[in-house]
Chains A and B, each alone.
Chain A
Amino acid sequence: MARTTPEAEVDRDLVELARKGDREAFAVLVHQVSDSLYTVAHRILRDPGLAEDALQNALVLAWRRLPHLREPDRFEAWFHRILVHACYDESQRARQWTAHVRVLPVDGPTTPDESAAVADRDQLERAFRRLPMDQRAVFVLHHYLGLPLVEIAQMLEIPAGTARSRLHYAIRGLRAAIEAESESTAQEGRLA
């Protein structure tokens, strides 16, 4: 999949124009980065509606705050940071709602290999939804966008050690949840 990452080149002149209030320049920039922003939001929030709201809020917020952007060359990284914070905000708003939502298992597969793969993904989905938002964000930026931790730290304006520990705890949390679930499933199988 061709993915626009924060390292991709954007037109510095367009950024400067947009900083000075040129909405058309901003529209061009948005079309260059919106797919990446949306897909990242979707992976973090695991909900199309919340991801759409996060994207819309991030676009408006980025427009308003663009004059504060210090380094036009870091436009995409800056935009992704705004998006990640928009995701945090959306998750806060949705917390009450998601607390009552039960994730349903996906439909059953047909072959044993597919069965294992789908079961893994289903377990991942459930485990991922239990992670704190800040850990989800680092996990997605690292494993989906393929960004190094140092770059994630710069993007989110957190110490590199914090980015590292968030990724560590995310992976640990995912593995623990998956293993606990597998064990529970195995026990249920034995009891049956």
Chain B
Amino acid sequence: MTDDRSFERTARSWLETGPTEAPERVIDAAFVEIASTPQERDWHVPWRLPKMNPFARALIGVAAVAVLVIGGLRLLPATSGTIGGVPTASPTTTPAASAAAVASPRFPLTGTFTSTLMGYSIKIADGWVAEPATIPWDTATDNGPPGVDSITMTGTDSSLGVASQPIPAGSTYEQFLVQFHKNTVPGVPTGCDGGDPSTWKSVQIGPETGVLQQLCNATIAFADVGGRIYRFAWGSDTFNTNQHITEAEFKDLLKTVTFAPTAAKSPVAP
């Protein structure tokens, strides 16, 4: 088995030996588990929107504005604003509104999810489903599971995706944000990219101060902690603002974060 051709022939022949059919009992066992396993909701932030003809896009745009205006007028007295609305339409949460959200929360944050891969902990409510990431967060190709921790907020149509990685060698946190923003722009409607990172508003994430990139049906909070970039992305399945978590709830959630950058295991993705 010295030459390449002989080696490959032997290797292929060796690989051919072995079972050729999946055991039925394994499939049956899987389906017993699947019978009681819910699917994850698709919280994915739509970086790339499907192609649509200009007329249909305009029509949907008009309809969306109408829904937002009518919905906003109906809900204005009762709500404090929802993360994921059109940026200019989202009212800023005042300290009073935030305090009210803490005083009577819709979702008492009684549990804790700790991510050893990403190096942080966050409070979660009863019934929320946390799915830890299993591979490093690759900012270039994927902003969903399995490269991010996914927390499904049962009772809403919203989910939280959290990931972190060391600041790439030769780069800075600010440069990372600029690049991340550039990656965002081609995939979202005009005006939904959150603007230049230097204009992003600050937000409290645990004991740290981060920034918020406000998209149109998602919001992403970033922080630089101990040489790692952390990203907390809120997204939703629908444009039904009644089903979303509110801006105050998202910010309250961010305040519960504790960071452990030195314990994080996730490297920079290749």
Return the CB mask of B119-133 against A: 1 if under 8 Å, else 0.
000000000000100
Contact status B142-A59, CB under 8 Å: no
Contact status B19-A143, CB under 8 Å: no
Nearest residue, chain B, Cβ from A171: B7
Of A1, A66, A89, A124, which is within 8 A of B14 by CB? A124
Contact status B39-A63, CB under 8 Å: yes
Take A60-B30, A159-B270 as given contacts and tell me if A52 and B23 are in contact as well, using a CB distance cutoff of 8 Å: yes
Take A120-B10, A121-B14, A143-B11 as given contacts and tell me if A85 and B146 are in contact as well, using a CB distance cutoff of 8 Å: yes
Contacts of B7 in A (CB 8 A): 171, 174-175
**With an 8 A cutoff between CB atoms, is A10 at the interface?**
no
For chain B, residues 21 to 78, give those with C-beta under 8 angstroms from any C-beta of chain A.
Answer: 21-23, 26-27, 29-31, 33-35, 37-42, 44
For chain A, residues 7 to 48, give those with C-beta under 8 angstroms from any C-beta of chain B.
Answer: 21, 23, 26-27, 30-31, 34-35, 37-39, 42-43, 48
Number of interface residues of A (CB under 8 A): 47
**With an 8 A cutoff between CB atoms, is A138 at the interface?**
no
Binding site of B, secondary structure by majority: helix, strand, loop or mixed? Answer: loop
Number of interface residues of B (CB under 8 A): 42
- Shortest C-beta distance, B68 to chain A (Å), equals 26
Take A65-B40, A67-B39 as given contacts and tell me if A56 and B30 are in contact as well, using a CB distance cutoff of 8 Å: yes
Take A67-B39, A158-B270, A159-B270 as given contacts and tell me if A59 and B34 are in contact as well, using a CB distance cutoff of 8 Å: yes
Q: How far is the CA of A18 from the CA of B137 in the complex (A)?
A: 27
**With an 8 A cutoff between CB atoms, is B17 at the interface?**
yes
**With an 8 A cutoff between CB atoms, is A149 at the interface?**
no
Take A121-B14, A140-B15 as given contacts and tell me if A68 and B144 are in contact as well, using a CB distance cutoff of 8 Å: yes
Q: How far is the CA of A123 from the CA of B7 in the complex (A)?
A: 12
Q: How far is the CA of A60 from the CA of B131 in the complex (A)?
A: 13
Contact status B41-A55, CB under 8 Å: no
**With an 8 A cutoff between CB atoms, is B210 at the interface?**
no
Of B8, B18, B146, which is within 8 A of A43 by CB? B18
Return the CB mask of A118-140 against B: 1 if under 8 Å, else 0.
00110111000000000000011
Return the CB mask of B83-112 against A: 1 if under 8 Å, else 0.
000000000000000000000000000000
Return the CB mask of A172-187 against B: 1 if under 8 Å, else 0.
0011001000000000
Nearest residue, chain B, Cβ from A51: B19
Contact status A68-B37, CB under 8 Å: no
Return the CB mask of A131-174 against B: 1 if under 8 Å, else 0.
00000000110011000000000000111001000000001001
Nearest residue, chain B, Cβ from A63: B34
Contact status A34-B20, CB under 8 Å: no
Besides A27-B31, A120-B1, 19 new A-B residue pairs in contact (Cβ under 8 A), listed by A number:
A1-B16, A23-B35, A30-B30, A34-B22, A35-B20, A42-B18, A42-B19, A55-B30, A60-B33, A63-B34, A64-B38, A64-B40, A65-B39, A65-B146, A66-B39, A67-B40, A68-B44, A139-B11, A143-B8
Interface residues of A, Cβ cutoff 8 Å to B: 1, 21, 23, 26-27, 30-31, 34-35, 37-39, 42-43, 48, 52, 55-56, 59-60, 63-68, 70, 85, 89, 117, 120-121, 123-125, 139-140, 143-144, 157-159, 162, 171, 174-175, 178
